[in-house]
Amino acid sequence: MRPAFALPVLLVLAAVSLPARAQDIEPRAYSNAPIGVKFAIVGAVATRGDLSGDALPITDAHLETSTLVVAYAQVLDLGGRSGKFDMVAPYTRIQGSALYQGAPVERDISGFGRPAFRLSINLHGAPALSLREFRGWKQDLIVGASVQVAPPWGQYDGTRLVNVSSHRWSVKPEIGVSKAVGTWTWEAQASVAFFSDNDSFYGGHVRAQDPLYALQGHAIHAFASGKWLSLDATWFTGGRTTVDDRLNNDLQRNWRVGATLAIPMGKLDSIKFAASSGVSARTGNNFDALGVAWQHRWGAGL
């Protein structure tokens, strides 16, 4: 099997930690695979550093998080084009300290974070193919789009400053392109995340957030053994918040870089390692993330 089929799905572990999902680093989001293939993913991620941002209305946060991730994905035939449905659910423990309005606070808590559900479609260059048809297919240029929805579920206590969930809806549409050149694949993605208001914010207030815009880029090298390595970068901006219409000084304009390594473990399994770090931060990006995930695939006559 060519590497594009062996490992087409990576739900990046940093995406389910506390920062907003516009900070995701996700290579191969729009790769092709045979219709009917299903994926189960179990992983873990640890973060260290300043995690203020989406879920945390605080500053100077020195927090450690440990997250267990469970995910499922399935390749679909969407009117003759390949697509994918995926969902991910995180369970997180947060430990550490931060400042709120200049006063120190501490927190040690565990709970479920907001799950995320996504539907994607490859609009060009990745037709819906059976397993037999896929064996003769070769990628050139793929253009795809997706929308991800995260409901206001998970652990949240409006009387506390630090929570695992942020008690609001978010919707993130995205477009992406993927171009194969020899053993390399070059990818770019653009997205914007929209947020509903949190009307149960600390102290009985209402917290709102502006849209958060993001760009991603990936340079992916496929090895003859089936392994692949991706060098990743993402830039995001926006996301300024208000509390009861009072504007906060938390505009985000940040860069992150990372790398992802995927290694086949037999015909149906693989293991992935992911790392990312903030290299430039205006707000809430000074953290490092390390993750590992096991993936199993089945269906479509495998």
Instruction: List CB contacts of 188: < 8 A, sequence separation 6 or more.
Output: 176, 177, 215, 216, 217, 218
If you search the block for the tokens 């399994």, which residue do you land on? 269
Those residues of the chain that have pLDDT short of 50 are: 1-4, 6-22, 53-55
Helix (H, G, I), strand (E, B) or coil at 21: helix
CA distances from 142 to 120, 136, 215, 301 (A): 13, 17, 17, 25
Nearest 10 degrees: Cα torsion 274, 140, 40, 43? 0
Helix (H, G, I), strand (E, B) or coil at 226: coil
Q: What's the pTM value of the predicted model, to 2 decimals?
A: 0.90
Question: What would the two tokens of residue 72 be?
Answer: 């499922």
pLDDT, position 14: 39
All structural domains of the chain:
3-298 (2.40.160.40)
pLDDT tens digit string along 171-190? 999 999 999 999 999 999 99
